[in-house]
Amino acid sequence: MYSLDDTIAAISTPIGEGGIGIVRLTGPEARAILDRIFALGADPSQTELEPRVLHYGHIIDPASRQAIDEVLAVHMPAPKTYTRQDIVEIQGHGGIVALRGILSLCLRQGARLAEPGEFTARAFLNGRLDLAQAEAVLDVVQARTEVSLQAAIGQLAGSLSDQVRAVRASLMEALVYLEASLDFAEDEIPERGIGADMEQAVAHLSCLLEEAERGIIYRQGIRAAIVGRPNVGKSSLLNRLLRTSRAIVTSIPGTTRDTLEETVNLQGIPVVLVDTAGITDKSEDVIERLGIERSRAALSQSDLALLVLDASQPPTEADRAIASIMDGKPSVVVLNKIDLTDAVHRDVASILNAPAVHVSALTGTGIQDLEQTIVDTVFSGQVAAAEPPAVTSPRHKEALARALDHAQVALSAHREGLLADLVAIDLTAAVNALGEITGQTAGEDLVELIFSRFCVGK
């Protein structure tokens, strides 16, 4: 799957222009390659590279003696490194030509180009991180809110792994006892109550799964489609939620012809707001009809719908038609333009069985109430936890659910006094499911799939 015997290299900073760019190497030849291409600065007191100290100098092509870039270089010897192998980092200027020149020189000196996520894969394979912690590295990079960042940092520190290992150890204790009683049935094996171990494991797994959906939302976010007939204030609402003028707003109906997406942070939830074209069945404009089709597609692909209605007018047949295509999707009715009326028409909010919020996208009245209603709808009215949830990955949730199912079956079988080998079958399945989270029982295909999602150089 991954070779640990060769030396890999990659550009570890984003491609483009920047103040600093980093080329990273790891493997048995990392230090030797640096020695061949790095010339220390003019300070005569510098004669060798001291480990874990940045050294000033130049990257020189040994063949042409041409300077590639002026850099800072550091060598970090194994095993106290990210990969538990020798690591070299070369900090050059952030131009793509200079960075590619340094990388190309490293490759010519015997390194090979790293695969996506291969640095972190080596950290996993060498025991520096378990699989859940390795996945958290990517979550830290991709975090879009402070809550999702804190959850990823907690997972990187082992918050989930420690709990999974504790539950797995409880189930393993019970499994070892059962297998011993089966293998050595004729010997006297001290009686041990395993029911308590299984009960504790079931309770712990249930607690982890209770917060899993919330954690996944914090990590992945949701898509919220802003829908309604033309000229009800959808684009104005988008601008107000973003606190900036992002969409073009005019008094002319049908200004928005295509979907427009922007992300907003609502109490730690990354919410992708999708502004859509006004939905109507009566349009002779080909471009407008295409926009309406995209609006319907955006609605079907969203996790939440914000149905915007004009509170200053009675509900129209177009409003009712749009409400009818919600198809049971979680929704919030946004009664906009309350600044234009003293009394909202009672029938407006009744066209859809969903929470309704009175707002003025023009003045900002009611926007905070709308944001809170969106959060409550996403979490189905649950109270937000004080600490970031431990489970934030659909893969981890699925593995935990399988482990819980098998643990509950094993516990029921044990309570009913069924044969020990029947109990052991489900205990083994539960232990293996938990091992998939930390990597102890994860197959090569799963490991490769996880690291393939990383960028090159991480």
Q: In sequence order, what are the residues at sequence separation of 6 or more whose Cβ sits closer than 8 angstroms to the Cβ of residue 320?
A: 351
Evaluate if residue 379 carries a pLDDT over 70. yes
Q: At 85, give phi and psi (nearest 5°).
A: -125, 170
Q: Which residue has the higher pLDDT, 318 or 97?
A: 97
- Burial 228-237, CB ≥16 within 10 A → b, else e: bbbbbbbbbb
What is the pLDDT at residue 432? 95
Q: At 55, give phi and psi (nearest 5°).
A: -120, 135
Predicted confidence band at 13 (pLDDT cuts at 50, 70, 90)? very high
What is the pLDDT at residue 257? 46
Evaluate if residue 299 carries a pLDDT over 80. yes
What's the pTM?
0.84
What is the pLDDT at residue 405? 97
Residue 318's identity, in one-letter code, is A
pLDDT tens, position by position, 423-441 = 899 999 999 999 999 998 8
Tell me the C-alpha distance between 117 and 124, whole Å.
11
What is the pLDDT at residue 328? 79
CA 243, 249, 250: angle at the middle one, nearest 5? 150
Lowest model confidence (mean pLDDT) among 142-146, 327-331, 431-435: 327-331
Average pLDDT value over all residues in the chain: 86
- Strands 87-92 and 21-26 come out as antiparallel
pLDDT tens, position by position, 26-51 = 999 999 999 999 998 866 566 678 99
Averaged pLDDT for residues 67-88? 96
54-58, 233-237, 324-328, 381-385: which is most confident: 54-58
Half-sphere exposure of 57 (CA within 13 A, CB side): 23
Evaluate if residue 250 carries a pLDDT over 50. no
Q: Identify each DSSP E strand in 43-195 by its residue range.
A: 55-60, 67-76, 87-92, 112-113
CA 261, 266, 270: angle at the middle one, nearest 5? 50
* Domains located in the chain, CATH noted: 8-130 (3.30.1360.120), 134-211+391-439 (1.20.120.430), 218-378 (3.40.50.300)
